[in-house]
Amino acid sequence: GTPVRLPIDEDTPQHPESPYGITKKATEDYLRYWHDANGLNYTALRYGNVYGPRQDPNGEAGVIAIFAKRFLKHEPVRIDWDGEQKKDYVYVEDVARANVLALTGGDNNIFCIAAGNPVSVNQIYDLLAKITNYRPEIIHAPKRPGDIYLAYFDCQKAERILGWKPQVSFDEGVQKTVDYFKAHPDM
């Protein structure tokens, strides 16, 4: 749901506005319950918007993969709302590294895993235009239900306890994603 404060950290109150968000919160509640009742250790990771190679470019979510494929095929892209809505995008390799670190550290903790840098849909469009040297037609669409205008994370706890921080810059991650889709045009 819409964050009550920014940046979002592990103590930011959660108010899920969709079944997906409700199940994520419920999972954390179950983990805490099983820890308190039976001593089960857990580590939960709250991801920003994960992107990178192998992401499905044909789904409803994953704007970077969807746009990358459409830019490379010279197809129009759909931008919802005004395109100025900003999310916190984190590269898949950084997420994988966070998961590995969480296997041996951070017992009974929740960590935010993101880049801490809000990026707008329009900024994604402009970066992909620069990388691909192509500017596809934009089809404007209304706001999607449940979409939020601004969200980004404070990941200091993950850095302090797990020794994790993102290593792949947004520009580098988008370039790697485009390179992947160039090499795999069948996706």
pLDDT in tens, 16-59: 988 889 999 999 999 999 999 999 999 999 999 999 999 999 98
Residues across the chain: 187
Domain ranges, ordered by start, for the chain = 19-183
Q: How far apart are CA 119 and CA 85, in angstroms?
A: 8
Which residue stretches of 39-155 are H helix?
Answer: 63-72, 92-104, 121-132
Q: What is the pLDDT of residues 106-119, one digit of tens each?
A: 899 999 999 999 99
Q: How far apart are CA 154 and CA 177, in angstroms?
A: 24
Over 90: is that where the pLDDT of 165 sits?
Answer: yes
Catalytic residue of the set 20, 33, 42, 47: 20
DSSP-assigned beta bridge partners for residue 80: 141
pTM: 0.96
152 is catalytic: no
Name the CATH code of domain 19-183 (choices 3.40.50.11540, 3.20.20.140, 1.10.10.10, 3.90.25.10).
3.90.25.10
- Per DSSP, the chain holds a count of helices (H) and strands (E) of 6, 7
Residue 19 sits at φ, ψ, to 5 deg, of -55, -40
Average pLDDT over residues 56-85: 96
Strands 118-120 and 49-51: unpaired
Over 90: is that where the pLDDT of 147 sits?
Answer: no
Residue 134 sits at φ, ψ, to 5 deg, of -150, 140
